[in-house]
Each structure stands twice: as C-alpha cells, then as structure tokens.
Structure 1
Amino acid sequence: MAINDIHEYMANVGKRAKVAASTLAASDTQTKNLALCAIKNAIIDHKDDILSQNAIDVANAKNSGLDSALLDRLVIDDARFDGMVASLNDVLGLQDPVGEIEQMTYRPSGIWLGKMRVPLGVVGMIYESRPNVTLEAASLAIKSGNAIILRGGSEAFYSNQAIARCVHMGLKAANLPTDCVQVLKTTDRSAVDSLITMTDCVDVVIPRGGKGLIERISKGASVPVIKHLDGNCHTYIDKDADNQMSVSIALNAKTSRYGTCNTTETLLVHEDKVDILVDVLSAMAAADENMQFRVCHRSQSVLANAKLNIIPATEDDWYAEYLAPILAVKVVTDIDEAISHINHYGSHHTDVIITNNYADSQKFIRQVDSSSVMVNASSRFADGFEYGLGAEIGISTDKIHARGPVGLHGLTSQKWIVLGSGQVR
C-alpha cells in the first residue's frame, strides 16, 4: 500500500491504538473470549483465502531468493494452519491474568496491600516471516487486554493482511474496536523507525526476527524493548549421560527444524563420553545428508574414520546461530568447562544437559545463565505452546520484566493496591 506520509500514518495508528487500549483494558474476560471465538471461526471460514494469499507470498519469496530458513517460516500448510487454530484454542482456555490480585498483606497500620495485574497498554511488534505470529500475537494481546500494532515482514504481507481481516471480523462480533489489533498496511522501513520512537502511544516494543533486525530495533528504540538477539543453544552430554537418550535428544534438538531459535547449534561432550560422538553425529547425518560438523581438534581424532562431513571449527563457530544443517562440536574436560563455554559463547536462550547425575544436573541449572535451562529434554521445548502459555509473543533473553517465552503474564505489569478503612498516616 502506498502511503504518502509515513510519519502521519504512524501517528494516527498510535493514537487509535491508545484509545482502543483503554476500551480493551476495561473489557471483561467474557467479552475478550467472545472476540477470540469469533476470530477462530473467521480464520476457519476463510482458510482458503489465507492459504491462497500465503501462496502468493511464498511464490514472491522464492522469486526474490529469500533465505531458506525464512522461507520455511513463511509457509502455512495444512498442519501449520491447524496449529494456528489449536494455539488460539489454547489462549481461549487460559485464565485471564488481568485483575488478579497477589500477595495481599496486612500492615500494622491497619491497611491491606497487594499487587494487581494490569495490561501494559499498547504493544508494538516487528517480526519477519512467520505469518502465524500475527494470529498468536493478536490473540495474546486481546486476552491480556493490550492493543497491539503489528509490523510483519514484506515477504509475508498478503498472508498477514488476510489474517488481519479475520481478526477484525472477530473484534467487530464482540463489539470491540478493530484498532485493538492493527497490522500495518505498509512495508516501508521508516514505519518501524516511527513505531519504536512513539513513546507517547506505545508502551513496549517486541522485535522477533534475525539478529540484525533486533540489534537495529534495540539501538534505535526510545520505547522499552523486550528482545532476544539470537538463539545459540547448546546441548551438553555429561559423563553420566544415557547413550540412547543422548542420541535421541541431540538428534531432535538439531534436526527437527533448523530455522527456529530453540534449535541446538553447539554440541558439547564430556571427554569421558567421546565415544558417543560417532553415534550422535552419524544419526544426524542419516537424518540429513547435508549435515556439516564444525569440530574442535579433540573431536577430529575421535571422528577420523567416520564418514561424516567434518571441518575444523573456528572461534566464530562457537558464537554462531546457523539456522542451517550445521553443528559446532566441542569436547570439554568437565561440566565446569561446559558451563563456562555456554555462559561465554551462548546467547542466554536455551541450554540442555543430558545426565543421570543429580548433582551435575543441579549445578548446571543453577549456574547456566540462560532464560531456559533443561535437564534430559530437547532444546526444542523452549516454546510458549510447549510451556502451556497457549502461545508466545516472543522469547526474551532480557532479565528485566520478562524472561523466556513471553505469554499472557509477560504482557502484563503489576500495580500496588491498598485497601483501608479510614487509616491516616
């Protein structure tokens, strides 16, 4: 859509969002759930339109040579469509956090005080590919009482607009303003520059995409940002790990999908378990003949006779988020070296230990500084849906406000409330 004055357009979007946020914040759970039910029905009724618009986006993306990881995220097939509907159902079933009062305490003065959950207000979200995010973000925002401004990538423009039309149908059915969810009708990058500096209208910005996008948003934003830069996730096979479990978890963590931020990018193996390397890497190579392994010098001797695509790792490989059939591999002396490596090179997203040693598992989860730390489970579980959040609006590696998958509670804040009966100080 051609818009002559982007700054004026965005100012109007922000003002409308702020007004809509007030209406939505005052709405009860029944009204919000009515909107979500109507959105679900509209999505199902207009499946053909959504898939056809997505096909246009995919065709355009292929012609423009879009990166394979982004192309994978762009596609909506029948299974992913069903997943979108299931996610919406999950959000419908979640308890509404708005208005929850916690930690009520009686004070000697006679007052009672506690904390009440309230919406953040207006959320701005910038994201790439993944048109399913449009629906997930909209549903989470509505349920948590927030208005949201969504700026998807140009590669998903038609898909996002088709989903937005269904969202607006649902909001109208519940007599809520359609401005509660606004999907920008422009792909002009200057719209993003406006969005992230609209401190008078926007309360928080959530970027979801590649490291370059998130770095640009973080540096240019005057609105608070909830972010994670990349997903350099690790799986560490400890000295007391079960062999079969190690192969199964590592295989899933790396090869189930490459284009996700919870995919394992580095495999660490205790020196007492180096013999398992051939089994683990061979299983990955069998799953994908294009798998390449970038290995440390200690790994090379162990893998010398294995028929695998191996090259020596460089320092840069320990920092890399490949989003591709590439895995960095390192043999470590002990759990302390594994923890040190993860905290130094990792992105504080998701890290895994495979072990039957309770003391080691506890040491790992206490000392690894990441938003999700797992014992004997695939890193691919780091996801709002898998965590029972219904969906997620993103994963935060920040330490302030929200950390890990951000669901309904992550889209709320708390305010102190005081209940008295005439007390004065």
Structure 2
Amino acid sequence: MDIEAVMRTKAEEARKASRKLGVLSTSVKNKALMAMADVLEKRSAMILAANEQDLEDARQKGLKRSYLDRLMLNETRIRQMAEGLRQTAALPDPVCQGNYSTIRPNGLEIRRVRVPLGVIGIIYEARPNVTADAAGLCLKSGNAVILRGGSEAIRSNTAISSLLAQAAYENGIPEGALQFVEITDRAAVDVMTHLSGLLDVIIPRGGAGLINHIVKNSSVPVIQTGTGVCHTFVDDSADQDMAIRIAVNAKTSHPSVCNAMETLLVHEAVADEFLPKLVEAMQAKKVELRGCASCQAISEAFLPAAEEDWSTEYGDLILSVKVVRDIDEAIAHINQYNTGHSESIVTRNLTNAHRFQREVDASAVYVNASTRFTDGFEFGFGAEIGISTQKLHARGPMGLEELTSMKYLIYGEGQIRE
C-alpha cells in the first residue's frame, strides 16, 4: 500500500469538501448532526460488538486497567456520544458571526466575522468517543475533518465513523468532509503531519508521548491538548468534608482522564486533622497514596513520594500528596509542576480564592469544585475537540468557536489609499 498516496487522496477530498461545507446552511448541518446521533443509538449493537473485539485484543496484550477504561464503550457511553451531537446541533452556529465592526473616517466599513479553519486533522489514541465528538464539532463549525485513531480501537472507530459518515452524507454534508484513516501503520501519522497546504491544523489527543511527537515533527500547525497534572489545594480555612468529597471525585470518578487530580496539596495548619480523613476515604476507593515526609509522619499509609511523582500524570488510582506551608508554596508548587490544565482550591477565604485564580497559570482554575468539570460537555459546548493547554490560539475546552478563525469584510465606495 502506498500510504502517502492514500493519505494525500483523503486530504484532497477533504479540502474539496471543505469549500462546500464552509458555506453550508446551519439547518442542513443541524439536520445531519441529529441523524448522526440517531444512528449511533440505533446501531449501538454493531458498535459494541466491534468494541468488544478491540477490548479482547487489548486484554490479550496486557494493557493496563486505565487504558482499557478509556477504550471501553457501553450503552451509557454511546448515549452520551449521541447526546453530545444533539447538544452541538442545538448550539449557535459560529460561522459568519461577527464580533467587531467600525466605520473609518474615510468611510470604509469594516466587519470581522468567524470562518471555518478549513481541514482539521485529529490524531488520537484509545477513546472511541473522540470519533463522534470531533466529527460533530468539526462539521457544525464548517470544517472538514480527517480522523486517525489508535490501532487498539480500530474496529470501534471504523464502525462509528462509517455510521456517522453515511448519516452525514445522506443529510446534506458534502462527500469527503468526514474522513477516517483505517491505516494502523504509524507511517500514516507522519504523512498526515506533513500535508501542509491540505490540512490547516492538527490536534493531537492522547498521552505526552503522542503529543510531543506530533509537536516536534509536524509541518502543519498544531494545537497542543491533553496532558493533565492537575492539583487540588486544601487551604487552612477549607470545609474539610467538602474537601474530601472534591478530592475523592477528582481522583476516583474517572482516573484515566486528563482532568483527574494527580496531586493534592494540604495546608500544614490542617494536615494533622485532614490527612487521616483523606487516607480513610482514599483507601476505601483503593487509591495508592504517595506522600512527602510530613505526610508519612502523620500516617503510615503513605508510600514515599519521589521527585518525579510531582510531575507525573498517573491516569490511575494513584495520588501524590504534599503538605505545604501556605498558599504561597501551594501556588509555587502548582506553577512549577502543572501542565496548564486544571487546578482547584478548597477554601472559605475569598481573598485566597481570588488570589489562587489570579496567580495559578492554567486553562481552568476552580474554587470549591472538582477539576473533573473541565470538559466541553460540562461547560455547555456540546462536546470538545480537546483541552488546549497552550495559549495560541485557544485555551481550555475547545468547542465550536475555537474551531474558527477570522475574516475581515470591508465595504467601500471607491476609496483609494493616498
């Protein structure tokens, strides 16, 4: 197989389709999204059968529990994928929406409107739900999309993408606008990252290894997403029962995702009282605890934390815990080790809350809430294309507006520049 020729053909078809899709009416796009949601639920048995084959192969390879959790689909997750598409259909269409206009002294009228990026490449690992989320958001924002999922989910992704593409094309989306790469050879990724002029942007979703490889090797612009070394800081004024609930949720509700908490910081003034409660709650959820020397002095449940623990995204039921002197040390620790994803403070002190939000460098900063809410669905975006941890051109959960650029429309009456 000539991988380069196959990938270039897909990109050329997507580019051609993007020109039609970019000017498609909102009503047609919404109708297609609703049909795409319906087909996922109607053909769930087909999707689950394909997913079970992927899961069995993954088990045979001995892949860890957190990876299997990301890979697994069930009726509930399929319904959530469908609901994400319906919510995306219900959102305002960003295309051609203006946010700036002016009339210059020379009479020129200038307007700025949103336009699609064009062709978006999504490279992702084990999450089959990304196939539906990315397809829906890209099509609604007027972008063609090329999806390249991980080899471990190839059957699941092929089933989902084929159903979505058929429903989309039958309901007015231009042929070629939704492409899925069935090639599992990693050479397809390297070809994809060098299709400058055909792809406008690549968005990788997955572990640090995948993201770093794409960033270092792509000649197509890249939006970095994903890796989440997320923290929660329990201040000395915190409601401790609230802090326990938040910590347990942030660590255990879905430990394999990027918005799960990996490190808990505790103010030294409440450490003696708070940490035994934390140990009891986390042991009930079978969480392995790794702590600093102060933690170990308070409870023998803590294994020694090494330096690398503070910068590790476990993606598993493992939590590193550190006792800090005050909010100054907490903020300094977070800004040193975080990945720009999501951070939280539990406090009754409004001054500390505002300071934490102002000084912590991250895309989402919470007061008295779990980091697990950093999600396009939870933010009301319908779904997300990823969590951007960089600062250009988008940051945080990327929804429809983040998949558009700007165009200036200028109206004149014969003006010329002297």
On whether the aligned pair clears a TM of 0.5, the verdict is: yes
1:282 aligned residue (261, 265, 280): 280
Deviation at 1:107, TM superposition (A): 2.2
**Deviation, structure 1 residue 280:** 1.8
Aligned residues: 416
Question: Structure 1 residue 171: deviation in Å?
Answer: 1.9
Instruction: Note the C-alpha offset of 1:44.
Output: 2.1
Match of 1:363 in 2: 355
Q: CA deviation at 1:88?
A: 1.1
Q: What is the 5 A alignment of 1:108-127?
A: 108-127=105-124
Q: Aligned residue for 2:184? A: 187
Q: In terms of mean alpha carbon deviation, does 165-174 or 77-86 score higher?
A: 165-174
1:28 corresponding residue in structure 2: 25
Q: Percent identity?
A: 46
In structure 2, how many angstroms separate the alpha carbons of the residues matched to 1:73 and 1:98?
32
* SS of residue paired to 1:65: coil
Give the corresponding residue for 1:339: 331
| Deviates further, 161-170 or 201-210 | 161-170
Kindly indicate whether residue 375 of structure 2 is the aligned counterpart of residue 375 of structure 1. Answer: no
1:296 matched to 2:292 = yes
Picking from 86, 91, 94, the partner of 2:88 is 91
- Structure 2: how far apart are the matches of 1:113 and 1:67? 55
Does the C-alpha gap of structure 1 residues 64 and 178 become closer, same or farther in structure 2, counting only changes over 3 Å? farther
Q: In 2, Cα distance between the equivalents of 1:257 and 1:341?
A: 24
* 2:318 alignment partner in structure 1: 326
Instruction: Give the Cα–Cα distance (whole angstroms) in 2 for the partners of residues 210 and 271 of structure 1.
Output: 33
Contact 1:215 1:229 in 2 (8 A): no
2:378 to 386, 397, 420: 386
Q: 1:268 aligns with which of 265, 269, 272?
A: 265
Say which SS state the counterpart of residue 99 (structure 1) adopts. coil
Map residues 13-412 of structure 1 onto 2, 5 A cutoff: 13-228=10-225, 230-274=227-271, 275-288=273-286, 291-304=287-300, 308=301, 310-412=302-404
CA distance in 2, matches of 1:228, 1:337: 27
136-145 vs 37-46, which deviates more?
Answer: 37-46
In 2, are the aligned partners of 1:350 and 1:370 still within 8 Å (CA)? yes
CA distance in 1, matches of 2:124, 2:88: 20
Q: Which amino acid aligns with 2:75?
A: D
Decide which moves more: 382-391 or 111-120: 111-120
1:42-93 Cα distance to aligned partner (Å, 9 max, x none): 2222111111111111111111112321210111111111111111111111
Question: In 1, are the aligned partners of 2:29 and 2:172 still within 8 Å (CA)?
Answer: no
Q: Do the aligned partners of 1:37 and 1:170 also contact (CA within 8 Å) in 2?
A: no
Separation in 2, partners of 1:68, 1:40: 29
Q: Is the 8 Å Cα contact of residues 226 and 387 (structure 2) preserved in structure 1?
A: no
Give the letter aligned to residue 89 of structure 2: L
Distance across 2 between alignment mates of 1:387 and 1:315: 34
TM-score normalised by L of structure 1? 0.96
Give the Cα–Cα distance (whole angstroms) in 2 for the partners of residues 423 and 192 of structure 1. 48
1:272 counterpart SS class: coil
Unaligned ranges ≥5, structure 1: none
Q: Which runs of 5+ in 2 are unaligned?
A: none
How far does residue 229 in structure 1 lie from its aligned partner after superposition?
A: 5.5
> Secondary structure, in 3 states, of the residue corresponding to 2:391?
coil
Q: Is the CA contact (8 Å cut-off) linking 1:390 and 1:407 kept in structure 2?
A: yes
3-state SS of paired residue (1:125): strand
User: The residue matched to 2:269 in structure 1 has which SS?
Assistant: helix
The two structures, once aligned, show a CA RMSD in angstroms of: 1.1
1:139-187 deviation per Cα after TM superposition (whole angstroms, max 9, x unaligned): 0010000000000011111111111121122122223223111111210
Answer whether contact 2:203 2:225 (CA < 8 A) is retained: no
8 Å CA contact 1:202, 1:223 repeated in 2: yes
What TM-score, normalized to structure 2? Answer: 0.97
The farther-off stretch of 159-168 and 359-368 is 159-168
| Partner SS, residue 178 of structure 1 | coil
Could you tell me which amino acid in structure 2 is paired with residue 122 of structure 1?
Answer: V
- Tell me if structure 1 keeps the 8 A contact 2:238–2:348: yes
Question: Is the CA contact (8 Å cut-off) linking 2:37 and 2:83 kept in structure 1?
Answer: no
- In the aligned structure 2, how far is the partner of 1:143 from the partner of 1:372? 25
Helix, strand or coil at the partner of 1:363: helix
In 1, Cα distance between equivalents of 2:278 and 2:413: 67
